[in-house]
Chain A
Amino acid sequence: MSGDLVLAVGGLGISIATDDGVARVLDHVDLRIPRGRIVGVVGESGCGKSTLVRAILGILPRAAQVERGTILLGGEDLLHLSQRELTRRIRGKEISFIPQDPYLALNPVFSVGTQLLEIMRWHAGAGDNGDASRQGHRARLVELLRAVQIPDPEVALERYPHQFSGGQRQRVLIAGALACRPRLVIADEPTSALDVTTQLQILRLLRDLTNRFGVSMLFVTHDFGVVAQLCDEVMVMYAGQSVEAGRTAEILDRPRHPYTQMLIACHPDRTHDLTGIPGTVASPLAAPSGCRFHPRCPSARAVCSAARPSAVVEAAGHEVSCVLYHGPVSHV
Chain B
Amino acid sequence: MLVLRKFARDTSGMVGLVIVLLTAVVAALAPRLAPHPLDAYESHPAERLQEPSRPHPLGTDNLGRDVLSRVILGARAALTIAVLVVAGAMLIGVPLGLVAGYHRGWVPEIIMRVTDVFLAVPQLILALALAQLLGPSLKNAMLALTLTYWPFFTRIVFAETRRIRVSVFVEALEGLNAGARRVMFLHILPNAAPPIIVRATIGMGFTILSAAVLGFLGMGATPPDPEWGLAISESRQYLPEAWWFATFPGIAIFLVVFGFNLLGDGLRDVVDPRLRRSR
Contacts and interface: CB of A to CB of B under 8 A. Distances in A.
Interface in B64-117: none
A41 B279 CA distance: 25
Interface string B238-279: 000000000000000000000000000000000000000011
Contacts of A61: 279
A270 interface: no
Nearest to A62: B279
A283 B278 CA distance: 20
Interface residues of B, number: 2
Nearest to A61: B279
A104 to B, nearest CB: 14
Contacts of B278: 62
A269 B77 CA distance: 74
A240 B279 CA distance: 21
Nearest to B2: A19
Interface string A292-312: 000000000000000000000
A61 B279 CA distance: 6
A64 to B, nearest CB: 11
A177 B118 CA distance: 51
A61 B278 CA distance: 9
Contacts of A62: 278-279
A102 to B, nearest CB: 21
Interface string A54-95: 000000011000000000000000000000000000000000
A62 B277 CA distance: 12
A101 B192 CA distance: 29
A285 to B, nearest CB: 15
A97 B279 CA distance: 19
B200 to A, nearest CB: 28
Nearest to B9: A19
Nearest to B5: A19
Contacts of B279: 61-62
Nearest to B277: A61
Interface in B178-201: none
A63 to B, nearest CB: 8
A55 to B, nearest CB: 15
A231 B279 CA distance: 32
A62 B278 CA distance: 9
B8 to A, nearest CB: 12
A68 to B, nearest CB: 24
Interface in A256-290: none
Nearest to B6: A19
A163 B279 CA distance: 30
A43 B81 CA distance: 60
A299 to B, nearest CB: 39
A183 B279 CA distance: 28
Interface in A4-62: 61-62
A48 B279 CA distance: 17
A154 B279 CA distance: 36
B193 to A, nearest CB: 24
A194 to B, nearest CB: 22
Interface string A138-179: 000000000000000000000000000000000000000000
A62 B279 CA distance: 7
Interface of A: 61-62
3 contacts: A61-B279, A62-B278, A62-B279
Task: Across the A-B interface, give the 3 residue pairs with the lowest CB-CB distance, nearest first.
Answer: A61-B279, A62-B279, A62-B278
